[in-house]
A and B are shown apart, each in its own frame.
Chain A
Amino acid sequence: MAPRRCNALGGLTPRKDFVAGLIAVTYFLHPADTRIVTTSVNATHLNVLWGEIMRFVQTSKFPLRVEDGGPFYCTEQNIRKVVKGQMCPVSYLIGRVSAKSEGMAGHHATRTLAMIDECSGSDDEVFNQMETWAKKSLYWGNPLKNTGRFHAEVKAGDLLAH
């Protein structure tokens, strides 16, 4: 049985948005229906993550943009997948900013990934809504508060060891 949760590291600054951007793009490369929703406390912070995402799209050894012959149709904080010349009606990699979890529910698909940046500032309801559909979740941020969902997740530590 796979471990349910891993508290990846503490006390370090591993260029989190850089790694998160790489994870978003590589996870989205899978041919199966995939939905990835990224969110942060505000649009400015989300721009940092999306800067990393688009950097990986642009610097890939193999073309990723549709214009270059790749599978990704990119618009503002929204990437759709083109499969066999047709836009996949299901898959997307999107950015959403929400104060109270509006638009965070209902992103069901075969493969789903919820990504929350600057978690200390995110409302607990954002976590709750995203966990209704996300099969995988990546939460990251600085420990700025000693209350709330992110604090509880960090304190919980690894639930199961590898």
Chain B
Amino acid sequence: MRPNLDGEFDLLKLAKEFWPTVHLYSKQREIIQSVMYNDKTVVVAGNKLG
């Protein structure tokens, strides 16, 4: 169960509302959810993948 957002917006819902044609795949949604629910998010790409 996700922790309460405590007055914060659900960034994924906001994104869907403001940019309805933008499709986010699972890993992108995971990053956004992590920012919503955690104090710190670290995203590492594969070496030389861009």
Contacts and interface: CB of A to CB of B under 8 A. Distances in A.
Interface of A: 1-16, 18-19, 22-23, 26-27, 29-30, 32, 56, 59-62, 113, 135-144, 150, 153-154, 162
B18 A26 contact: yes
B2 to A, nearest CB: 7
A3 B34 CA distance: 9
A141 B44 contact: yes
Given A4-B40, A162-B2, 15 more contacts: A1-B3, A4-B38, A5-B38, A5-B42, A6-B38, A6-B42, A7-B42, A8-B43, A11-B44, A11-B46, A13-B49, A26-B32, A29-B14, A138-B41, A142-B44
A3 B18 contact: no
Contacts of B19: 22, 56, 59-61
B30 to A, nearest CB: 6
Nearest to B13: A26
Interface of B: 2-3, 7-9, 11, 14-15, 17-20, 22, 24-25, 27-28, 30-32, 34-35, 37-50
A140 B32 contact: no
Q: Which of A9, A27, A141 has the most CB of B within 10 A?
A: A9
A7 B44 CA distance: 8
Nearest to A5: B40
20 contacts: A5-B39, A5-B40, A5-B41, A7-B42, A8-B41, A9-B43, A16-B31, A16-B45, A22-B11, A23-B11, A26-B15, A113-B35, A136-B40, A139-B43, A140-B42, A141-B43, A142-B44, A142-B47, A144-B47, A150-B42
Nearest to B47: A143
Contacts of A22: 11, 15, 19, 22, 24, 32
Contacts of A135: 39
A4 B39 contact: yes
B46 to A, nearest CB: 5
